[in-house]
Amino acid sequence: MGNFLLWLVIIAFFASLLRLSIWLNAINTTRKDYSRMRTEIRIADAADLKAFGGGKVDLSELDASSAQLEKMGFRELGILLSSHSIDPIPTPRSSPIVDPVQEIASPSKIDTKSTGIARVFVHRDYGCYANLISIISIAKFDESLGLVDKIKIAPFRTAILSMENSDENAWRLANSNREVSAFSLLFRHPRGLLHRMVGAAPEELLKAHLIERDGIAQCGGFHWDKELSMEKYRAMENSTIDYIRSITKTWKTIPVAFHLLTYKFKNHDWWLGKLKGFPKQ
């Protein structure tokens, strides 16, 4: 019995080391990817929506959720399309002069592109936004690897959002039914507050949002912006991308790896960042 338990401990130890190695590689890859990432956010039209994901995305869920938001008094502002591509590292040309100190990155074997689409709504009476967002990621492998392209499609999720203004350091609050992911937790903005309500219907998100945002504004000593527009929403999205790109440069490998190994053991329903004194409901 003692030997059996010892072997279990040994297996668990090596499994943890393997997982840690995988996470360390993922951290370094993500940091490098974001340093080479190009992003374009533009207003899309119906044709862009239909072509989203090469026509592989079922839009019936989006239409049903849109109708639900409209019944709640939201009106559509428009559709935003965000394209993210990671510039591949080219194979270095041979040269008779080589700097022995220069670190040459290995040429990329994967060409990764992701496209996010957001249908944005506004509620003029309540002074808040709603959005329906999905992301599709496509990884194309070098022919030498002999691998089939990987396509990952995230289902549409809803968020209700209020903003102080559209500045980079502005306060904002979102009530969202989007699931938790390990890396998304690392990109949280200190003033981008979040109450994650996985599985909640849009009506539940709105009800909680309207109750919670007044207390949050009082604790933070600010007022929510009531003059809402697509331009302000788009500016917020751009500032978010800039923040994500900058925060990856500050990552320290060991703390990030520890977070990735332990995040499942914590509750991530709330993110209050720099806000002090607000009681979580």
Question: pLDDT, tens digit, for every residue of 48-107?
Answer: 877 776 777 778 888 999 999 999 999 999 999 887 665 554 444 444 444 443 344 444
Identify the pLDDT of residue 92. Answer: 45
Is 152 inside any structural domain? yes
Most confident option among 1-5, 29-33, 36-40:
36-40
Q: How many CB atoms lie within 10 A of CB 48?
A: 15
Tell me which residue range forms the domain holding 186.
Answer: 2-87+107-271
Show the DSSP H helices in the chain as ranges.
Answer: 2-35, 46-51, 60-71, 182-186, 202-220, 230-248, 253-262
Please enumerate, as own/partner, the contacts of 253-259 that have beta carbons within 8 Å and a separation of 24 or more.
Answer: 253/24, 253/27, 253/28, 256/27, 256/186, 257/20, 257/23, 257/24, 257/27, 259/182, 259/185, 259/186
Is 276 inside any structural domain? no
35 CB contacts (<8 Å, ≥6 apart)? 245, 248, 249
Identify the pLDDT of residue 105. Answer: 44
Question: Residue range 109-136: average pLDDT?
Answer: 88
Most confident option among 13-17, 112-116, 140-144, 207-211:
207-211
Query: What are the angstrom distances between the C-alpha of 213 and each of 82, 108, 195, 196, 249?
Result: 28, 45, 10, 14, 31
Identify the pLDDT of residue 30. Answer: 58
Instruction: Say whether pLDDT at 260 is over 60.
Output: yes
Number of domains in the chain: 1
241 CB contacts (<8 Å, ≥6 apart)? 39, 41, 82
Most confident option among 4-13, 30-39, 54-63, 178-187:
178-187
Q: How many CB atoms lie within 10 A of CB 127?
A: 16
Q: How confident is the model at residue 34 (pLDDT cuts 50, 70, 90)?
A: low
- In the chain, count H helices and then E strands: 7, 9
pLDDT digits (tens, 9 = 90+) for 168-196: 789 999 999 999 888 788 889 999 999 99
Provide the mean pLDDT of the chain: 79
Identify the pLDDT of residue 94. Answer: 43
- Of 91 and 209, the structure prediction assigns the larger pLDDT to 209
Is 98 inside any structural domain? no
Identify the pLDDT of residue 276. Answer: 82
Residue 203 token pair? 């009506």
Residue 57: phi and psi, rounded to 5, are -95, 130
- Of 133 and 108, the structure prediction assigns the larger pLDDT to 133
Identify the pLDDT of residue 219. Answer: 92
- Of 122 and 257, the structure prediction assigns the larger pLDDT to 122
46 CB contacts (<8 Å, ≥6 apart)? none
Identify the pLDDT of residue 51. Answer: 79
Identify the pLDDT of residue 111. Answer: 64
Is 248 inside any structural domain? yes
Is 79 inside any structural domain? yes
Identify the pLDDT of residue 73. Answer: 97
Identify the pLDDT of residue 107. Answer: 47
Question: Residue range 251-277: average pLDDT?
Answer: 84
d(CA 192, CA 229): 19
Burial class (CB in 10 A: 0-12, 13-18, 19+), 53: middle
Is 66 inside any structural domain? yes
Identify the pLDDT of residue 22. Answer: 54
Is 50 inside any structural domain? yes
Q: Terminal CA-to-CA distance of the chain, rounded, Å?
A: 47
Is 99 inside any structural domain? no
Most confident option among 94-98, 208-212, 234-238:
208-212
Instruction: Say whether pLDDT at 211 is over 90.
Output: yes
